[in-house]
Structure 1
Amino acid sequence: MTKASSRKELMSNTVLEKAAVLFAERGFAGTSLRDIAEAMGMTRPALYYYFDSKETLLRELVRGITGVGSQELRKLRERTDLSAAEKLRTVVIGTAVRVAESPVRFRLLERNEAELPDSILQEHSASKGRILDELSAIIGDGVRSGEFRPVNERITAFSVIGMINWIAWWYNPQGPSSPEEIAEEMYTLVSRGLLRGEDRVPARGIEGAVALLREDLTHLERLLADGERPTS
Protein backbone atom coordinates (compact mmCIF):
# COMPACT_ATOMS: atom_id res chain seq x y z
CA MET A 1 0.00 0.00 0.00
CA THR A 2 1.37 3.41 -1.01
CA LYS A 3 1.58 6.35 1.34
CA ALA A 4 -1.21 8.14 -0.56
CA SER A 5 -3.56 5.14 -0.45
CA SER A 6 -2.79 4.59 3.24
CA ARG A 7 -3.70 8.21 3.98
CA LYS A 8 -6.92 7.91 1.97
CA GLU A 9 -7.91 4.77 3.89
CA LEU A 10 -7.21 6.50 7.21
CA MET A 11 -9.26 9.54 6.22
CA SER A 12 -12.06 7.35 4.87
CA ASN A 13 -12.31 5.56 8.22
CA THR A 14 -12.38 8.91 10.02
CA VAL A 15 -15.20 10.10 7.76
CA LEU A 16 -17.09 6.85 8.40
CA GLU A 17 -16.78 7.29 12.17
CA LYS A 18 -18.00 10.89 11.99
CA ALA A 19 -20.88 9.91 9.70
CA ALA A 20 -21.85 7.09 12.06
CA VAL A 21 -22.08 9.55 14.96
CA LEU A 22 -24.26 11.95 12.98
CA PHE A 23 -26.51 9.20 11.59
CA ALA A 24 -26.97 7.79 15.10
CA GLU A 25 -27.75 11.23 16.58
CA ARG A 26 -29.87 12.77 13.80
CA GLY A 27 -30.99 9.81 11.73
CA PHE A 28 -30.03 9.12 8.14
CA ALA A 29 -32.74 11.37 6.69
CA GLY A 30 -31.78 14.20 9.03
CA THR A 31 -28.10 14.20 8.08
CA SER A 32 -26.72 15.76 4.90
CA LEU A 33 -23.33 15.51 3.23
CA ARG A 34 -22.84 19.16 4.18
CA ASP A 35 -23.32 18.23 7.86
CA ILE A 36 -20.69 15.49 7.54
CA ALA A 37 -18.26 17.77 5.68
CA GLU A 38 -18.64 20.51 8.30
CA ALA A 39 -18.13 18.02 11.12
CA MET A 40 -14.93 16.92 9.40
CA GLY A 41 -13.78 20.51 8.87
CA MET A 42 -13.68 20.12 5.10
CA THR A 43 -15.64 21.29 2.07
CA ARG A 44 -18.21 19.13 0.27
CA PRO A 45 -15.99 18.84 -2.84
CA ALA A 46 -13.19 17.59 -0.59
CA LEU A 47 -15.55 15.02 0.95
CA TYR A 48 -16.47 13.77 -2.52
CA TYR A 49 -12.90 12.53 -2.88
CA TYR A 50 -13.72 9.89 -0.27
CA PHE A 51 -17.47 9.29 -0.69
CA ASP A 52 -19.74 10.56 -3.45
CA SER A 53 -23.00 10.39 -1.47
CA LYS A 54 -24.35 9.74 2.00
CA GLU A 55 -25.91 6.53 0.64
CA THR A 56 -22.41 5.32 -0.23
CA LEU A 57 -21.30 6.18 3.30
CA LEU A 58 -24.21 4.32 4.83
CA ARG A 59 -23.72 1.25 2.62
CA GLU A 60 -20.06 1.09 3.66
CA LEU A 61 -21.02 1.31 7.33
CA VAL A 62 -23.66 -1.40 6.99
CA ARG A 63 -21.29 -3.72 5.11
CA GLY A 64 -18.64 -3.18 7.75
CA ILE A 65 -21.00 -4.42 10.44
CA THR A 66 -23.43 -7.08 9.23
CA GLY A 67 -21.73 -7.81 5.90
CA VAL A 68 -18.32 -8.55 7.34
CA GLY A 69 -19.88 -10.30 10.32
CA SER A 70 -21.83 -12.75 8.16
CA GLN A 71 -18.77 -13.58 6.04
CA GLU A 72 -16.55 -14.19 9.06
CA LEU A 73 -19.19 -16.35 10.72
CA ARG A 74 -19.61 -18.53 7.64
CA LYS A 75 -15.86 -19.13 7.42
CA LEU A 76 -15.75 -19.95 11.12
CA ARG A 77 -18.62 -22.45 10.92
CA GLU A 78 -16.93 -24.28 8.05
CA ARG A 79 -13.71 -24.85 10.00
CA THR A 80 -13.09 -28.48 10.92
CA ASP A 81 -10.28 -27.89 13.41
CA LEU A 82 -12.53 -26.31 16.04
CA SER A 83 -15.26 -27.81 18.19
CA ALA A 84 -18.70 -26.20 18.35
CA ALA A 85 -17.84 -24.81 21.79
CA GLU A 86 -14.63 -23.26 20.46
CA LYS A 87 -16.53 -21.73 17.55
CA LEU A 88 -19.12 -20.32 19.92
CA ARG A 89 -16.43 -18.76 22.08
CA THR A 90 -14.81 -17.19 19.01
CA VAL A 91 -18.14 -15.72 17.90
CA VAL A 92 -19.14 -14.32 21.27
CA ILE A 93 -15.73 -12.90 22.21
CA GLY A 94 -14.99 -11.45 18.78
CA THR A 95 -18.42 -9.88 18.26
CA ALA A 96 -18.69 -8.48 21.78
CA VAL A 97 -15.29 -6.81 21.50
CA ARG A 98 -16.20 -5.34 18.11
CA VAL A 99 -19.49 -3.93 19.43
CA ALA A 100 -17.81 -2.43 22.52
CA GLU A 101 -15.07 -0.85 20.42
CA SER A 102 -17.48 0.67 17.86
CA PRO A 103 -20.79 1.14 19.69
CA VAL A 104 -21.91 4.11 17.58
CA ARG A 105 -21.82 2.08 14.36
CA PHE A 106 -24.11 -0.56 15.88
CA ARG A 107 -26.46 2.03 17.37
CA LEU A 108 -26.88 3.77 14.04
CA LEU A 109 -28.25 0.58 12.49
CA GLU A 110 -30.85 0.22 15.23
CA ARG A 111 -31.97 3.81 14.83
CA ASN A 112 -31.86 4.00 11.04
CA GLU A 113 -33.07 0.57 9.94
CA ALA A 114 -36.51 1.93 9.04
CA GLU A 115 -34.89 4.74 7.01
CA LEU A 116 -32.47 2.61 5.01
CA PRO A 117 -32.81 2.90 1.22
CA ASP A 118 -34.34 -0.25 -0.24
CA SER A 119 -31.13 -1.56 -1.80
CA ILE A 120 -29.16 -1.11 1.43
CA LEU A 121 -32.01 -2.52 3.54
CA GLN A 122 -32.17 -5.65 1.39
CA GLU A 123 -28.42 -6.17 1.69
CA HIS A 124 -28.52 -5.53 5.44
CA SER A 125 -31.48 -7.87 5.99
CA ALA A 126 -29.82 -10.64 3.98
CA SER A 127 -26.62 -10.31 6.01
CA LYS A 128 -28.56 -10.38 9.29
CA GLY A 129 -30.36 -13.51 8.12
CA ARG A 130 -27.06 -15.21 7.28
CA ILE A 131 -25.65 -14.30 10.70
CA LEU A 132 -28.66 -15.87 12.40
CA ASP A 133 -28.47 -18.98 10.20
CA GLU A 134 -24.74 -19.52 10.74
CA LEU A 135 -24.90 -19.05 14.51
CA SER A 136 -27.96 -21.32 14.69
CA ALA A 137 -26.00 -23.94 12.73
CA ILE A 138 -23.05 -23.75 15.13
CA ILE A 139 -25.36 -24.19 18.11
CA GLY A 140 -27.20 -27.03 16.36
CA ASP A 141 -23.89 -28.76 15.65
CA GLY A 142 -23.01 -28.47 19.33
CA VAL A 143 -26.35 -29.96 20.37
CA ARG A 144 -25.92 -32.92 18.01
CA SER A 145 -22.34 -33.54 19.15
CA GLY A 146 -23.42 -33.50 22.79
CA GLU A 147 -21.31 -30.43 23.64
CA PHE A 148 -24.41 -28.27 24.20
CA ARG A 149 -27.62 -28.89 26.04
CA PRO A 150 -30.63 -29.76 23.80
CA VAL A 151 -31.90 -26.26 23.12
CA ASN A 152 -33.79 -24.62 20.29
CA GLU A 153 -30.82 -23.36 18.30
CA ARG A 154 -32.67 -20.51 16.58
CA ILE A 155 -34.16 -19.07 19.77
CA THR A 156 -30.76 -19.40 21.45
CA ALA A 157 -29.02 -17.68 18.53
CA PHE A 158 -31.52 -14.80 18.67
CA SER A 159 -30.85 -14.47 22.41
CA VAL A 160 -27.06 -14.45 22.01
CA ILE A 161 -27.18 -11.88 19.20
CA GLY A 162 -29.55 -9.63 21.14
CA MET A 163 -27.45 -9.75 24.30
CA ILE A 164 -24.27 -8.88 22.43
CA ASN A 165 -25.83 -6.10 20.32
CA TRP A 166 -27.20 -4.46 23.48
CA ILE A 167 -23.62 -3.72 24.56
CA ALA A 168 -23.70 -0.79 22.11
CA TRP A 169 -26.33 0.91 24.27
CA TRP A 170 -24.97 0.44 27.77
CA TYR A 171 -21.20 0.01 27.53
CA ASN A 172 -19.18 2.96 28.83
CA PRO A 173 -15.64 3.21 27.37
CA GLN A 174 -14.66 5.28 30.41
CA GLY A 175 -16.00 2.64 32.78
CA PRO A 176 -13.99 0.09 34.79
CA SER A 177 -14.27 -2.80 32.31
CA SER A 178 -12.42 -3.17 29.00
CA PRO A 179 -14.08 -4.56 25.84
CA GLU A 180 -12.16 -7.80 26.38
CA GLU A 181 -13.42 -8.13 29.96
CA ILE A 182 -16.99 -7.46 28.84
CA ALA A 183 -16.61 -10.10 26.13
CA GLU A 184 -15.32 -12.72 28.58
CA GLU A 185 -18.25 -12.04 30.89
CA MET A 186 -20.65 -12.42 27.98
CA TYR A 187 -19.12 -15.76 27.03
CA THR A 188 -19.37 -16.96 30.62
CA LEU A 189 -23.11 -16.22 30.64
CA VAL A 190 -23.66 -17.92 27.29
CA SER A 191 -21.53 -20.98 28.02
CA ARG A 192 -23.10 -21.64 31.41
CA GLY A 193 -26.47 -21.84 29.73
CA LEU A 194 -25.31 -24.13 26.92
CA LEU A 195 -22.31 -26.29 27.75
CA ARG A 196 -22.63 -29.83 28.97
CA GLY A 197 -19.74 -31.44 30.80
CA GLU A 198 -18.22 -32.06 34.17
CA ASP A 199 -19.75 -28.85 35.51
CA ARG A 200 -23.26 -30.10 34.71
CA VAL A 201 -24.20 -30.84 38.32
CA PRO A 202 -27.83 -31.84 38.88
CA ALA A 203 -30.08 -30.23 41.42
CA ARG A 204 -30.52 -32.21 44.60
CA GLY A 205 -32.80 -35.19 44.81
CA ILE A 206 -35.02 -36.99 42.34
CA GLU A 207 -36.18 -33.83 40.55
CA GLY A 208 -32.61 -32.96 39.59
CA ALA A 209 -31.93 -36.43 38.26
CA VAL A 210 -35.18 -36.41 36.27
CA ALA A 211 -34.24 -33.04 34.76
CA LEU A 212 -30.94 -34.46 33.48
CA LEU A 213 -32.69 -37.55 32.11
CA ARG A 214 -35.10 -35.32 30.21
CA GLU A 215 -32.17 -33.44 28.68
CA ASP A 216 -30.57 -36.69 27.58
CA LEU A 217 -33.84 -37.96 26.10
CA THR A 218 -34.30 -34.70 24.20
CA HIS A 219 -30.76 -35.03 22.87
CA LEU A 220 -31.46 -38.62 21.76
CA GLU A 221 -34.69 -37.57 20.05
CA ARG A 222 -32.82 -34.85 18.17
CA LEU A 223 -30.22 -37.34 16.94
CA LEU A 224 -32.88 -39.79 15.80
CA ALA A 225 -34.81 -37.03 14.04
CA ASP A 226 -31.62 -36.12 12.16
CA GLY A 227 -31.31 -39.66 10.90
CA GLU A 228 -28.55 -40.87 13.23
CA ARG A 229 -28.75 -44.29 14.85
CA PRO A 230 -27.02 -45.66 17.95
CA THR A 231 -23.99 -47.84 17.18
CA SER A 232 -23.78 -51.32 18.66
Structure 2
Amino acid sequence: MPRGRSATYADQHEAILAHAAELFAARGYPGTSMNEVAMACGLTKPALYHYVRDKEALLLQICQQHIARLQALVASVQAQGLLGEAQLRALILAFVRAYADAQGEHRVLTEDVRFLGEAERSVVLDGQRQVVAAFADAVAQVRPALAAASLHKPLTMLLFGMINWMFTWLQPDGPLTHDDMAPVVADLFVGGLLALQTPALQASA
Protein backbone atom coordinates (compact mmCIF):
# COMPACT_ATOMS: atom_id res chain seq x y z
CA MET A 1 0.00 0.00 0.00
CA PRO A 2 1.23 3.54 -0.70
CA ARG A 3 2.34 5.46 2.36
CA GLY A 4 -0.16 8.14 3.42
CA ARG A 5 0.74 11.72 4.20
CA SER A 6 1.75 12.55 7.74
CA ALA A 7 -0.51 14.54 10.03
CA THR A 8 1.84 17.52 9.70
CA TYR A 9 1.96 17.47 5.89
CA ALA A 10 -0.58 20.29 5.45
CA ASP A 11 1.14 22.49 8.05
CA GLN A 12 4.54 21.95 6.44
CA HIS A 13 3.11 22.68 3.01
CA GLU A 14 1.60 25.94 4.29
CA ALA A 15 4.95 26.89 5.83
CA ILE A 16 6.75 26.20 2.54
CA LEU A 17 4.36 28.45 0.62
CA ALA A 18 4.76 31.22 3.20
CA HIS A 19 8.57 31.07 3.21
CA ALA A 20 8.71 30.88 -0.58
CA ALA A 21 6.39 33.88 -0.92
CA GLU A 22 8.65 35.92 1.37
CA LEU A 23 11.72 34.96 -0.66
CA PHE A 24 10.07 35.61 -4.04
CA ALA A 25 8.79 38.96 -2.77
CA ALA A 26 12.21 39.99 -1.47
CA ARG A 27 14.43 38.64 -4.26
CA GLY A 28 12.09 38.11 -7.17
CA TYR A 29 11.02 34.76 -8.57
CA PRO A 30 13.95 34.42 -11.03
CA GLY A 31 16.44 35.36 -8.32
CA THR A 32 15.34 32.70 -5.85
CA SER A 33 16.54 29.11 -6.03
CA MET A 34 14.86 26.02 -4.69
CA ASN A 35 17.97 25.50 -2.52
CA GLU A 36 17.23 28.84 -0.84
CA VAL A 37 13.59 27.89 -0.34
CA ALA A 38 14.63 24.60 1.23
CA MET A 39 17.08 26.33 3.57
CA ALA A 40 14.45 28.90 4.63
CA CYS A 41 12.09 26.04 5.45
CA GLY A 42 14.70 24.03 7.33
CA LEU A 43 14.44 21.21 4.79
CA THR A 44 16.78 19.41 2.49
CA LYS A 45 16.17 19.96 -1.20
CA PRO A 46 14.95 16.35 -1.71
CA ALA A 47 12.54 16.84 1.20
CA LEU A 48 11.24 20.03 -0.38
CA TYR A 49 10.42 18.14 -3.57
CA HIS A 50 8.27 15.82 -1.49
CA TYR A 51 5.87 18.78 -1.11
CA VAL A 52 6.19 20.57 -4.45
CA ARG A 53 7.12 19.39 -7.93
CA ASP A 54 9.28 22.33 -9.01
CA LYS A 55 9.65 26.10 -8.67
CA GLU A 56 6.92 26.94 -11.16
CA ALA A 57 4.49 24.68 -9.31
CA LEU A 58 5.48 26.46 -6.12
CA LEU A 59 4.73 29.85 -7.70
CA LEU A 60 1.39 28.60 -8.99
CA GLN A 61 0.38 27.27 -5.58
CA ILE A 62 1.26 30.57 -3.90
CA CYS A 63 -0.84 32.51 -6.42
CA GLN A 64 -3.77 30.09 -6.32
CA GLN A 65 -3.85 30.02 -2.53
CA HIS A 66 -3.80 33.80 -2.32
CA ILE A 67 -6.57 34.14 -4.90
CA ALA A 68 -8.62 31.54 -3.02
CA ARG A 69 -8.28 33.61 0.16
CA LEU A 70 -9.43 36.75 -1.66
CA GLN A 71 -12.38 34.89 -3.14
CA ALA A 72 -13.27 33.63 0.34
CA LEU A 73 -13.18 37.23 1.63
CA VAL A 74 -15.58 38.30 -1.12
CA ALA A 75 -17.91 35.40 -0.32
CA SER A 76 -17.81 36.22 3.39
CA VAL A 77 -18.79 39.85 2.77
CA GLN A 78 -21.51 38.89 0.30
CA ALA A 79 -22.94 36.42 2.82
CA GLN A 80 -23.62 39.33 5.19
CA GLY A 81 -26.40 40.52 2.88
CA LEU A 82 -25.08 44.08 2.72
CA LEU A 83 -26.17 46.35 -0.11
CA GLY A 84 -24.79 49.38 -1.89
CA GLU A 85 -22.30 51.52 -0.02
CA ALA A 86 -22.25 49.20 3.00
CA GLN A 87 -21.14 46.24 0.88
CA LEU A 88 -18.48 48.22 -0.97
CA ARG A 89 -17.06 49.58 2.27
CA ALA A 90 -17.02 46.10 3.80
CA LEU A 91 -15.14 44.71 0.79
CA ILE A 92 -12.54 47.47 0.92
CA LEU A 93 -12.01 47.11 4.68
CA ALA A 94 -11.69 43.33 4.41
CA PHE A 95 -9.14 43.45 1.62
CA VAL A 96 -6.92 46.19 3.07
CA ARG A 97 -6.83 44.43 6.43
CA ALA A 98 -6.15 41.03 4.86
CA TYR A 99 -3.16 42.38 2.95
CA ALA A 100 -1.43 43.15 6.25
CA ASP A 101 -0.74 39.44 6.76
CA ALA A 102 -0.22 38.53 3.11
CA GLN A 103 2.17 41.13 1.76
CA GLY A 104 4.61 38.54 0.40
CA GLU A 105 1.87 36.56 -1.32
CA HIS A 106 0.30 39.70 -2.71
CA ARG A 107 3.58 40.99 -4.08
CA VAL A 108 4.20 37.63 -5.76
CA LEU A 109 0.73 37.72 -7.32
CA THR A 110 1.28 41.28 -8.52
CA GLU A 111 4.79 40.89 -9.90
CA ASP A 112 5.59 37.23 -10.59
CA VAL A 113 2.48 35.71 -12.18
CA ARG A 114 4.03 36.59 -15.56
CA PHE A 115 6.57 33.81 -15.04
CA LEU A 116 3.89 31.12 -15.11
CA GLY A 117 3.09 29.16 -18.24
CA GLU A 118 0.18 30.36 -20.33
CA ALA A 119 -2.34 27.80 -19.04
CA GLU A 120 -1.34 28.28 -15.40
CA ARG A 121 -1.34 32.07 -15.73
CA SER A 122 -4.83 31.90 -17.25
CA VAL A 123 -6.13 30.02 -14.21
CA VAL A 124 -4.74 32.65 -11.85
CA LEU A 125 -6.00 35.57 -13.94
CA ASP A 126 -9.48 34.03 -14.12
CA GLY A 127 -9.56 34.03 -10.33
CA GLN A 128 -8.43 37.65 -10.23
CA ARG A 129 -11.14 38.62 -12.71
CA GLN A 130 -13.79 37.05 -10.49
CA VAL A 131 -12.63 39.15 -7.55
CA VAL A 132 -12.54 42.32 -9.64
CA ALA A 133 -16.02 41.59 -10.99
CA ALA A 134 -17.41 41.36 -7.45
CA PHE A 135 -15.97 44.78 -6.62
CA ALA A 136 -17.21 46.25 -9.91
CA ASP A 137 -20.72 45.01 -9.14
CA ALA A 138 -20.53 46.66 -5.73
CA VAL A 139 -19.38 49.93 -7.33
CA ALA A 140 -22.31 49.77 -9.76
CA GLN A 141 -24.70 49.22 -6.85
CA VAL A 142 -23.53 52.46 -5.27
CA ARG A 143 -23.96 54.42 -8.51
CA PRO A 144 -25.83 52.50 -11.22
CA ALA A 145 -25.05 55.21 -13.76
CA LEU A 146 -21.40 54.13 -13.63
CA ALA A 147 -22.27 50.81 -15.26
CA ALA A 148 -24.29 52.57 -17.94
CA ALA A 149 -21.27 54.78 -18.64
CA SER A 150 -18.90 51.74 -18.62
CA LEU A 151 -16.99 53.28 -15.71
CA HIS A 152 -17.58 50.77 -12.92
CA LYS A 153 -14.76 48.43 -14.00
CA PRO A 154 -12.15 51.14 -14.67
CA LEU A 155 -12.94 52.69 -11.30
CA THR A 156 -12.56 49.29 -9.68
CA MET A 157 -9.12 48.97 -11.23
CA LEU A 158 -8.22 52.40 -9.83
CA LEU A 159 -9.30 51.16 -6.40
CA PHE A 160 -7.13 48.07 -6.71
CA GLY A 161 -4.26 50.27 -7.85
CA MET A 162 -4.63 52.14 -4.58
CA ILE A 163 -4.75 48.96 -2.49
CA ASN A 164 -2.33 46.78 -4.42
CA TRP A 165 0.68 49.05 -4.10
CA MET A 166 0.34 49.96 -0.45
CA PHE A 167 3.16 47.52 0.30
CA THR A 168 5.60 49.89 -1.42
CA TRP A 169 5.15 52.59 1.23
CA LEU A 170 3.19 51.22 4.21
CA GLN A 171 5.92 49.63 6.31
CA PRO A 172 5.20 47.08 9.08
CA ASP A 173 7.17 49.14 11.63
CA GLY A 174 5.79 52.51 10.50
CA PRO A 175 3.41 54.83 12.36
CA LEU A 176 0.36 53.62 10.40
CA THR A 177 -1.05 50.12 10.08
CA HIS A 178 -3.36 48.47 7.57
CA ASP A 179 -6.10 48.73 10.18
CA ASP A 180 -5.49 52.48 10.35
CA MET A 181 -5.55 52.88 6.58
CA ALA A 182 -8.52 50.61 5.78
CA PRO A 183 -11.24 53.16 6.66
CA VAL A 184 -9.19 55.91 5.03
CA VAL A 185 -9.14 54.01 1.74
CA ALA A 186 -12.87 53.28 2.05
CA ASP A 187 -13.75 56.91 2.78
CA LEU A 188 -11.51 58.22 0.03
CA PHE A 189 -12.84 55.87 -2.65
CA VAL A 190 -16.53 55.90 -1.72
CA GLY A 191 -16.49 59.66 -1.19
CA GLY A 192 -14.87 60.19 -4.57
CA LEU A 193 -17.28 57.76 -6.18
CA LEU A 194 -20.31 59.67 -4.89
CA ALA A 195 -18.86 63.01 -5.97
CA LEU A 196 -17.68 61.87 -9.40
CA GLN A 197 -18.94 63.93 -12.33
CA THR A 198 -17.76 63.19 -15.87
CA PRO A 199 -19.12 63.80 -19.37
CA ALA A 200 -19.70 60.04 -19.68
CA LEU A 201 -21.93 60.08 -16.59
CA GLN A 202 -23.84 63.10 -17.79
CA ALA A 203 -24.41 61.47 -21.16
CA SER A 204 -25.78 58.32 -19.54
CA ALA A 205 -28.14 60.18 -17.21
Question: What TM-score comes out, normalization by structure 2 length?
Answer: 0.80
Equivalent position of 1:44 in the other structure? 45
1:138 maps to: 138
Aligned equivalents of 1:138, 1:66: Cα separation in 2: 19
User: Any conservation in 1 of the 2:85–2:141 contact (CA below 8 Å)?
Assistant: no
Q: 2:182 is matched with which residue?
A: 183
Alignment partners' CA distance in 1, 2:73 and 2:161? 18
User: How many Å separate the matches in 2 of 1:39 and 1:101?
Assistant: 19
Contact 2:62 2:105 in 1 (8 A): yes
Q: Which of these two proteins has the greater Rg computed from alpha carbons?
A: 1
Match of 1:167 in 2: 166
Query: How far does residue 97 in structure 1 lie from its aligned partner after superposition?
Result: 1.1
Equivalent residue of 2:143, what SS? Answer: helix
Structure 1 residue aligned with 2:9: 8
Within-5 A mapping of 1:53-72: 53-70=54-71, 72=73
Gaps of 5+ in 1: 197-210, 223-232
Q: Superposed, which structure 2 residues align to 1:1-232 within 5 Å? A: 5=7, 7-70=8-71, 72-73=73-74, 76-77=77-78, 79=79, 81-144=81-144, 152-195=151-194, 218=202, 221-222=204-205
Instruction: Provide the C-alpha distance between the structure 2 equivalents of 1:64 and 1:86, rounded to a whole number of angstroms.
Output: 27
- With over 3 angstroms needed to count, the CA separation of the structure-2 counterparts of 1:175 and 1:26, relative to structure 1, is closer
Per-residue deviation, 1:13: 2.3
CA–CA separation in structure 2 for the residues paired with 1:80 and 1:71: 13
1:1-56 Cα shifts (integer Å, max 9, x gaps): xxx63x33332222112101222233323333222112222102222333232223
CA distance in 1: counterparts of 2:80 and 2:9, whole angstroms: 38
**Aligned counterparts of 1:132 and 1:35: Cα–Cα separation in 2:** 34
CA-CA distance at 1:76 after TM superposition: 4.3
The 1-side partners of 2:104 and 2:11 are apart by: 18
SS at the partner of 2:19? helix
Q: Is the 8 A contact 1:99 1:167 kept in 2?
A: no
- How far is 1:74 from its partner? 5.7
| Equivalent AA in structure 1 for residue 108 of structure 2 | L
Q: Which shows bigger deviation, 15-24 or 45-54? A: 45-54
Q: What's the C-alpha RMSD, in Å, of the aligned pairs?
A: 3.0
The sequence identity of aligned pairs, in percent, is: 23
Kept in 1, the 8 Å contact 2:52–2:58? The answer is yes
Is the contact made by 2:73 and 2:94 (CA closer than 8 Å) also made in structure 1? no
Tell me the equivalent position of 2:3. none
CA displacement at 1:92 relative to structure 2:
0.5
Instruction: Check the 8 A contact 1:104/1:168 in 2, yes or no.
Output: no
CA distance, structure 1, for counterparts of residue 189 and residue 73 of structure 2: 20
Aligned residues: 197
- Cα distance in 2 between the residues matched to 1:84 and 1:115: 37
Residue matched to 1:199: none
Taking structure 1 as the reference length, what is the TM-score of the superposition? 0.72
Deviation at 1:71, TM superposition (A): 5.3
CA distance in 2, matches of 1:83, 1:194: 16
Given residue 134 of structure 1, which amino acid in structure 2 is its aligned partner?
Answer: A
